Amino acid sequence: MLVRLLYASRAAAPVNQDTIESILQQSRSYNPSLGVTGILCHGGDVYMQVLEGGRAAVNELYNKIVRDPRHTEVLLLHYEEVAERRFSGWTMGQVNVSKINPSTLLKYSERPELDPFATSGKASLALLEELISTAQIVGRAG
């Protein structure tokens, strides 16, 4: 059974490009063996990530993230059983919010910044869907 999980968290320490690359490298090497796909959206000290795959694998990975000292304030935004993956092309795609037109963010939230703590899970998923449709996700798998 496939599931889709969306969560948000705050970085425990200042985020730089090395931090993001480390997270992406770990995801891209670890997730394929679990059958997990998804995307990581980041801006400032906020992470928002979608994980898709088998229920047990996604739940196990989410629990690992909750315990990861790089994350604080981990918040489950959305969880559902799905018939098919929406993010299957990414072992772990990436969106750097600083490179997105602020009007796109404003369409789904009160302010033109990534703040999934102040929006619904449904709005956060809609934002990610728009980012897919406008090709603003990088790191697509082979």
Sign (positive or negative) of CA dihedral 22, 125, 63, 27 = negative
CA gap 82, 38 in Å, rounded: 14
pLDDT in tens, 59-69: 999 999 999 99
Q: What is the pTM of this model?
A: 0.85
Which one-letter amino acid corresponds to residue 8? A
pLDDT in tens, 61-117: 999 999 999 899 999 999 999 999 987 776 666 777 777 888 888 899 888 888 899
CA end-to-end span of the chain, whole Å?
24
Residues 6+ away with beta carbon under 8 Å from 120: 77
Q: What pLDDT is attached to residue 140?
A: 45
pLDDT tier for residue 128 given thresholds of 50, 70 and 90: confident
Mean of pLDDT over the chain: 86
pLDDT tier for residue 135 given thresholds of 50, 70 and 90: low
pLDDT in tens, 20-44: 888 878 888 888 899 998 888 888 8
Q: Using an 8 Å Cβ cutoff, are 111 and 127 in contact?
A: no
Whole-Å CA distances, 26 to 52, 92, 105, 132: 16, 10, 27, 22
